[in-house]
Amino acid sequence: MEIKQEGKFKTLFKRYGILCIACVFALVVALGVALGVQGARQVSVTPADFGLPMQNATVVKDYADDRLQLNESLNRWEIHLAVDMTSDDNAVFSVLDGVVDSVESNSLDGCVVTITHGDGFTSIYSSLGEDVLVKAGDRVTKGQQIGTASADATNESVDGAHLHFVLMQNGVEVDPNIYLDLQNK
Which CATH number covers residue 140? 2.70.70.10
Asked which of 8-22, 46-60, 92-106 is least confident by mean pLDDT, the reply is 8-22
Handedness of CA 166, 169, 175, 180 (dihedral sign): negative
Q: Are residues 18 and 52 in the same domain?
A: no
Q: Are residues 56 and 28 in the same domain?
A: no
Q: Are residues 115 and 34 in the same domain?
A: no
Number of domains in the chain: 2
Q: Are residues 30 and 118 in the same domain?
A: no
**Residues spanned by the domain of 180:** 48-184
Q: Are residues 132 and 80 in the same domain?
A: yes
What average pLDDT does this structure show over 79-103?
93
> What number of other Cβ atoms are within 10 A of residue 77's Cβ?
10
Cα separation, 167 vs 176, whole angstroms = 6
Cα separation, 24 vs 89, whole angstroms = 58
Q: Are residues 100 and 25 in the same domain?
A: no
Q: Are residues 7 and 72 in the same domain?
A: no
Cα separation, 124 vs 116, whole angstroms = 9
Q: Are residues 92 and 175 in the same domain?
A: yes
In this predicted structure, what is the pLDDT of residue 47?
Answer: 45
In this predicted structure, what is the pLDDT of residue 108?
Answer: 83
